[in-house]
Amino acid sequence: MNFLNLLAADPAETHHWLLPETAEIIYGGIASVIVIGALAKFALPQFKKFFAARTERIQKELDASANDLAQAQADASKIRTALGDIASEKARLMADAQAQADALLKDGRARLASEVADMEAKADADIAAAAARGSDELRTEIGRLAGVATDRALASVLDDATQQQLIENFIAKVGAGR
């Protein structure tokens, strides 16, 4: 091919349908090497630093979550221990309450027995006093009835003159006793 034919030929048309022109391969290759070199020199350290920081941040989060898990397990253990302590404290309090209830019941029974004994003694004294009063009242009633019966018997046996003389003698005795 000659030079004129090349100039007259369509510039969009290449010598092969798959491969570009040789100059384009050379210039493209050099440009690619320069860009890749610049990226390797300037961007690669930045990417390494970014990924190292990302790895460090993820590791911190993993460590923090491991610490949180350990703390949560320790707290759960403390809670379980405290729950056991609560159960023993509950048992102790229930035992104390039962002992106090037993002592209160024993004291109440003793006080009740003392009060019952006092009430029985008072009742016995009241019964004795009532019996004595009843006895006195019975004697008084018997004396009154005997007096009424004597008056009736004497009234039927004694005549009016004898009764008048007995009354005057009685009044004289009472008057002389003053």
- Give the other-Cβ count within 10 Å of 18's Cβ: 5
Lowest average pLDDT, out of 20-34, 57-71, 77-91, goes to 77-91
Residues near 15 by beta carbon (within 8 Å), at least 6 away in sequence: 21
Beta carbons of 170 and 162 less than 8 angstroms apart: no
Could you read off the pLDDT of 14-63 as tens digits, one per residue?
Answer: 667 778 788 888 999 999 999 999 999 999 999 999 999 999 999 999 99
- Give the other-Cβ count within 10 Å of 14's Cβ: 13
Domain coordinates in residue numbering, the chain = 10-151
pLDDT of residue 5: 56
Beta carbons of 58 and 52 less than 8 angstroms apart: no
Specify the pTM: 0.35
- Fill in the DSSP letter of residue 15: S
Highest mean pLDDT among 90-94, 136-140, 162-166: 90-94
